[in-house]
Amino acid sequence: MTITPRIYIDADACPVKDEVYRVAARHNLPVSVVAGKFIRVPQDPLIERIAAGSGMDAADDWIAERAGKHDIVITADIPLASRCVKAGATVIAPTGKPFTEESIGMTLAVRNLMTDLRSSGEVTGGPSAFSPRHRSAFLSALDQAIRRILRAQTSDV
């Protein structure tokens, strides 16, 4: 039995939603666009929008409860990425950076350290500005992830 992979977008601040829609359409994959409240999405039967609620981590919880082995999660949220990696999902940041079992522990530790430094008054700067290079890396990473998942499914049959 083949399970159709689903792409989950942590959508509140995602700069690559349009790119996800195009790649998903090319592969005929469903997309769940998850945000705290309703946001605009294209009228397409493959795209569903989810208003998870206004709770602190409502959108993250909604995604983490559903994402699994055959799915792809698009997020820059490191704690959400960690939860989804543990569930077996493929997780990609909007910059194209993959979150993996090997990298997520250190990524989470650095994030927590930077949060602690900022709360103690240190000026740490923020992430670099989103660039065309990031968009290109993301498109490549997403396409590779989809192909890897689909290939794995055909070899499982």
> How does pLDDT run across 38-90, given as a tens digit for each residue?
889 999 999 999 999 888 899 999 999 999 999 999 999 989 999 999 999 99
Calpha distance 16→95 (Å, rounded): 9
What is the pLDDT at residue 117? 63
Query: Is CATH 3.30.700 the classification given to domain 7-156?
Result: no
Q: Please write the tens of the pLDDT for every residue from 109-128.
A: 665 566 666 677 766 666 67
pLDDT band at 144 (very low <50, low <70, confident <90, very high): very high
Please answer whether residues 153 and 70 qualify as being in contact, where contact means their C-beta atoms are separated by less than 8 angstroms: yes
Helix (H, G, I), strand (E, B) or coil at 88: coil
Q: Please write the tens of the pLDDT for every residue from 77-107.
A: 989 999 999 999 999 999 999 998 777 666 6
Q: What are phi and psi of 63, to 5 degrees?
A: -65, -50
Calpha distance 25→43 (Å, rounded): 12
Helix (H, G, I), strand (E, B) or coil at 92: strand
Residue 141 CB partners (closer than 8 Å, separation 6+): 92, 96, 97, 98
Calpha distance 63→152 (Å, rounded): 23
What is the pLDDT at residue 130? 83
The domain spans of the chain are 7-156
Residue 90 CB partners (closer than 8 Å, separation 6+): 71, 72, 73, 98, 145, 148, 149
